[in-house]
A and B are shown apart, each in its own frame.
Chain A
């Protein structure tokens, strides 16, 4: 417990522990649900867009492709309340776990700097080993416990903050596509976001063979029937 207090005091004094804070801030943001698509703009240079457009995305993209595509969890603008609460919980848990983890690590570091207690009995093999190579594993139990607790909290926080799982079974996935109204904002995220669309819809409504004159006539008839006034 002595080291616990001591290390937190040194931390309060603002002792710098270089390297780690920077790295932690990145992973922390990632863990806190930072949207990966924010980084995407860098890759979207003109050439990529052009090539992909020219390559003409086939009418039938196999569903495995769309399932395997990199998940960009897009947050829809209209998130319902429970999701928000959930996200806040996971963010708070992650933050708490991270603080705890860093505290434990720093405590261990501080502990390692302490001079060995004089009462420590010398190991029998220490005569042949350099003293610097001989690890003294006498970490106090509170630091060990703190580390384990921090890792557990982080695990729980990350899992609870992850996006909803998609069904693995084909029939279930397909049924979900048919049954649910598709979230349009997910479609906006491209192939990876959300459930995607029925990949075989292109076989029912064939864009390549679109009869535009027929569609125009149909629309004109709809307007004449007064459909335009109703909307």
Chain B
């Protein structure tokens, strides 16, 4: 029986979870020794399940992170043995291993050249193309990475993961409008992804706080608020969504009270123009709703209520801080 933690997809584990997983590696490798029967008999041996290979991959990534390169190479060996050198996913994993164990810049450069060599032979090898982009980014060459990523999206424009990555790259460069465009593309592919709605709202919020003209800021803020509302509509009790809703409505209330002159006259063409900014009353009510909901989530989570314990600790703490800030400003 494989431990369930090994079957979690491996990205972005906390360091402590990561070390726990990688500590299981030697025992796992020991217990799953290869006993390969000759071909017709191997069909009947049911020792192999899909979960095993997922577990190997998780172990490989965890071991690479914790620096247990020996176990990692063993995992990789088994995957290669099973699926062959030519398997695209295995190729990408091997590249990952080479990247992680590269000692200096020269070695990294060599890995990069290896990727380009592979891509010359099979330009449609998506996992390797993605690895190459990730490596370029890791080597602090963001413009090259962006060019490569745009090229990848030209050939495969429905790859939501790549659009999302490109959005992050643009955001890191501070080009908000491009990042917003990319996230909207992601939403075209996966219109129900509540976390992408929230992400888009966050980027809109950032861009509106960065813009100088109050009109643009107001537009960005109300758009951001609507996106947060959509993410909450798609997902009840979404802490990130309510946090953002509270933040944007508070800002909007500030902005609107400062510029009370012409909120209603901004309405343009009802078909093609932008939406009018929301009315003050509805913003007020949304703000109250967000406050109540956040308070409920924080309360029930800290009380350790069953069914409410899945939130990230950091997120709950941030939400509590936001609420505290609010009460402080009221007291003053």
Contacts and interface: CB of A to CB of B under 8 A. Distances in A.
A102 B45 CA distance: 40
A187 B8 contact: yes
Q: Among A42, A49, A207, find the residue whose CB has the most chain B CB atoms closer than 10 A.
A: A207
B190 A179 contact: no
A53 interface: yes
B18 to A, nearest CB: 7
Contacts of B122: none
A207 B10 contact: yes
Contacts of B320: none
Contacts of B137: 209, 211
Interface in A213-231: 213-216, 218-220, 222-223, 227-228, 231
Given A175-B235, A210-B11, A182 B161 contact: no
Contacts of B42: 46
B61 interface: yes
Given A180-B309, A219-B65, A175 B236 contact: yes
Interface residues of A, number: 60
B26 interface: no
Chain B's interface: helix, strand, loop or mixed, by majority?
A: helix
A44 B233 contact: no
Q: Among A54, A200, A208, A209, find the residue whose CB has the most chain B CB atoms closer than 10 A.
A: A209
A181 B196 contact: no
A56 to B, nearest CB: 6
Given A45-B43, A228-B19, A211 B134 contact: yes
A206 B60 CA distance: 17
A170 interface: yes
Given A178-B239, A212-B99, A213-B99, A49 B43 contact: no
A50 interface: yes
B216 interface: no
A213 B196 contact: no
Q: Among A41, A49, A176, A215, find the residue whose CB has the most chain B CB atoms closer than 10 A.
A: A215
Interface string A36-73: 00000110111111101110100110010000000000
Interface residues of B, number: 74
B46 A172 contact: no
B49 A219 contact: no
A6 B237 CA distance: 63
Contacts of A1: none
Contacts of B4: 184-185, 187-188
A174 B190 CA distance: 14
Interface string A167-204: 00011101111111110110110100000011011111
B228 interface: no
B209 to A, nearest CB: 22
B127 interface: yes
B89 A227 contact: no
A49 B50 contact: yes
A23 interface: no
Contacts of B146: none
A175 to B, nearest CB: 3
Shortest beta-carbon contacts, A-B, top 3: A175-B236, A174-B235, A184-B4
Interface of B: 2, 4-5, 7-12, 15-16, 18-20, 42-46, 48-53, 61, 64-67, 82-83, 87-89, 92, 96, 99-100, 102, 126-127, 130-131, 133-134, 137-138, 160-162, 164-165, 186, 189-190, 192-196, 199, 233-239, 307-311
24 contacts: A44-B48, A45-B44, A53-B89, A54-B89, A56-B127, A171-B236, A174-B234, A176-B307, A179-B308, A180-B308, A187-B7, A187-B8, A188-B51, A203-B190, A204-B164, A205-B11, A205-B12, A207-B9, A209-B137, A210-B96, A212-B100, A212-B138, A213-B138, A219-B18
